[in-house]
Amino acid sequence: MKRIGFVLKVKQEKIEEYKEHHRNVWPEMQAALRATGWHNYSLFLRDDGLLFGYFETPHDLATATAQMAATEVNTRWQEMMAPYFESPDNARADQMLVELEEVFYLA
């Protein structure tokens, strides 16, 4: 299982709305994540909007995101969430993930 860490930036004025959406992630979105190999998925948000994400997958980041991109529910979710992120041209968050290098792991 590969461990993936990534960062994104949520617009500061949208943080509370962003958190509310994630308290109510659609069941079909959760099912799609599981079905495409996203496990132990967590999001952590700093007060200034810096978002750190972590998940485990049998795939690399490109494959994991491509499999999710192929689902209809992910398309709807990404379109809904795009305005929440600092991004050029309101890009989808799943197309802007900046993968972090793992430099230490304690099992």
Give the residue numbers marked as catalytic: 22
CB-CB neighbours of 77 under 10 Å: 22
Would you put residue 93 in left (φ > 0), alpha (ψ -120 to 50) or beta?
alpha
d(CA 12, CA 56): 28
